[in-house]
């Protein structure tokens, strides 16, 4: 039996071995299902079998980047994206292909008793086709990692520019005040607010980095009053942003078992996002409502509604095509991504609705009871 015929006839057996290898070697926090473990393996094998059947050789030049080609992403490229999102290292990605090569050849050899020149030619072409597929995956994986790195550097440079300008302006104004001790001065809280924003951005970046390198972000569960946390945060933002109207409402019992610092981080990121994207001199309303089993936190702002297509991916940093590289006015912040991951770490849910007549509302629901005293946030881009 020729190799392409064997692959087509034994797809399920080969896929099962691929699945077993991926399951045994996946990152501990991934916990992928069968469909995810077999991700695009069938399409890649069918493509390789097609190449063998056609008896053609693949080009030996380097794989072109996907954005320089007109065709759609190949199965190998999409597979690389999926494995990166699941936290697989590039070494593990390569190991999957090494295991696939060994599985196919071992199974074929055990099924074939007599080898011919055609069989030898099949082996050469199979290795060429598999190496070509591997190269596509590695190229996409590497491009994605570099793109993410550029994205975060761009985000940090862009988002830190604004508070630094405020600090520079405040320092210059304080220098020019001859009797600064006698005159009321409103610059101090503004400067402090900008420093706070910078710290928040750096905290977000550190959280993201920790989650990407596999250590996770540790949260410590304890009795927490979400109403008090949100009220204090609204007061802090109100003291700095006197051009914006802030409202805070709390209803019912808003205590639960969470990490208080992380709940504050969730809220401050949502308020910061509302300030950045809401209407100038508009209103931001923060509501904390306790139910018997959960607390619902909402942050509402006015302004231009978020397009429906963007609402579906607004928390997804992995959706890089939605960012505009090189646009200095495009926010590349990590805030909403971090919010989603912290909510997930508390076993909660987050959603967004946005319309011209109702405004933009981010809704977070946190269950009051937690089964674990501590938990690692292990999601990745």
Identify the domain boundary among 160, 191, 212. 212
* 255 shares its domain with 368: yes
Closest C-alpha among 19, 49, 54 to residue 133: 49
Cα-based distances in Å from 218 to 226, 340, 377:
19, 15, 7
* 182 shares its domain with 238: no
* 118 shares its domain with 167: no
253 Cβ partners below 8 Å, 6+ apart? 290
User: Which of 13-17, 64-68, 239-243 is predicted with the least confidence, judged by mean pLDDT?
Assistant: 64-68
* 170 shares its domain with 225: no
Buried b (16+ CB within 10 A) or exposed e, 190-224: bbebbebbbebbebbbebbeebeeeebbebebeeb
Which residues span the domain enclosing 60?
Answer: 3-147
* 69 shares its domain with 135: yes
* 129 shares its domain with 233: no
Instruction: Return the H-helix or E-strand segment holding 251.
Output: strand 245-251
**pLDDT-derived band of residue 153, with 50, 70 and 90 as boundaries?**
low
pLDDT in tens, 47-103: 888 888 887 655 544 444 444 444 567 888 888 888 887 778 888 889 999 999 999
Identify the domain boundary among 120, 147, 174. 147
* 75 shares its domain with 201: no
* 130 shares its domain with 264: no
Is pLDDT above 90 for 208? no
Give the domain CATH number at 238.
Answer: 3.30.565.10
Q: State the pLDDT at residue 32.
A: 83
Identify the domain boundary among 92, 113, 147. 147
Give the domain CATH number at 18.
Answer: 1.10.490.70
Instruction: Return the H-helix or E-strand segment holding 218.
Output: strand 217-220
Beta bridge partners of 251: 289
Beta bridge partners of 256: 224
* 258 shares its domain with 321: yes
Residue 356 has a CB neighbour count (10 Å cut-off) of: 10
* 303 shares its domain with 345: yes
Domain count, the chain: 3
* 62 shares its domain with 162: no
Structure-block tokens of residue 345: 């770490």
- Tell me the percentage of the chain whose pLDDT exceeds 70: 68
Q: State the pLDDT at residue 229.
A: 92
Instruction: Return the H-helix or E-strand segment holding 327.
Output: none
pLDDT in tens, 268-322: 889 988 988 888 878 999 999 999 999 999 999 988 888 887 887 888 765 433 3
* 236 shares its domain with 366: yes
- How many residues would you count in the chain? 381
């Amino acid at each position: 039996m020729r190799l392409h015929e064997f692959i087509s006839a034994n797809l399920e057996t080969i896929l099962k071995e691929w699945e077993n290898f991926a399951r045994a070697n996946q990152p501990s926090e991934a916990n992928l299902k069968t469909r995810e473990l077999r991700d695009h393996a069938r399409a890649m094998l069918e493509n390789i079998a097609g190449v063998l059947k056609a008896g053609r050789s693949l080009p030996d030049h380097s794989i072109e980047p996907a954005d320089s080609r007109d065709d759609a992403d190949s199965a190998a490229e999409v597979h690389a994206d999926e494995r990166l999102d699941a936290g697989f290292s590039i070494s593990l990605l390569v190991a999957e292909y090494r295991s696939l090569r060994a599985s196919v050849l071992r199974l074929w050899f055990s099924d074939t008793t007599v080898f011919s020149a055609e069989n030898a030619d099949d082996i050469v072409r199979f290795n060429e086709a598999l190496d070509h597929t591997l190269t596509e995956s590695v190229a996409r994986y590497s491009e994605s990692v570099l793109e993410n790195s550029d994205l975060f550097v761009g985000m940090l440079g862009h988002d830190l520019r604004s508070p630094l300008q405020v600090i520079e302006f405040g320092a210059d104004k304080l220098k020019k005040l001859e009797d600064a001790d006698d005159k009321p001065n409103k610059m101090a809280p503004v400067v402090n607010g900008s420093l706070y924003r910078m710290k928040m951005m750096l905290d977000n970046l550190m959280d993201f980095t920790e989650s990407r390198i596999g250590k996770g972000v540790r949260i410590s569960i304890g009795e927490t009053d979400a109403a008090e946390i949100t009220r204090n945060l609204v007061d802090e933002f109100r003291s700095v942003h006197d051009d914006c109207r802030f409202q805070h409402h709390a209803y019912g019992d808003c205590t639960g078992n969470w990490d208080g610092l992380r709940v504050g981080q969730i809220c401050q990121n949502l308020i910061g996002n509302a300030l950045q994207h809401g209407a100038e001199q508009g209103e931001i309303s923060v509501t904390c409502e306790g139910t018997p089993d959960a607390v619902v936190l909402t942050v509402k702002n006015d302004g231009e509604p978020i397009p429906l297509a963007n609402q579906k991916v607004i928390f997804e940093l992995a959706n890089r095509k939605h960012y505009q590289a090189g646009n200095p006015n495009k926010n590349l912040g990590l805030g909403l991504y971090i919010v989603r991951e912290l909510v997930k770490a508390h076993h909660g849910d987050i959603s967004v609705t946005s319309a011209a007549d109702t405004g933009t509302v981010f809704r977070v629901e946190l269950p009051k009871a937690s089964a674990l005293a501590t938990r690692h946030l292990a999601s990745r881009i």
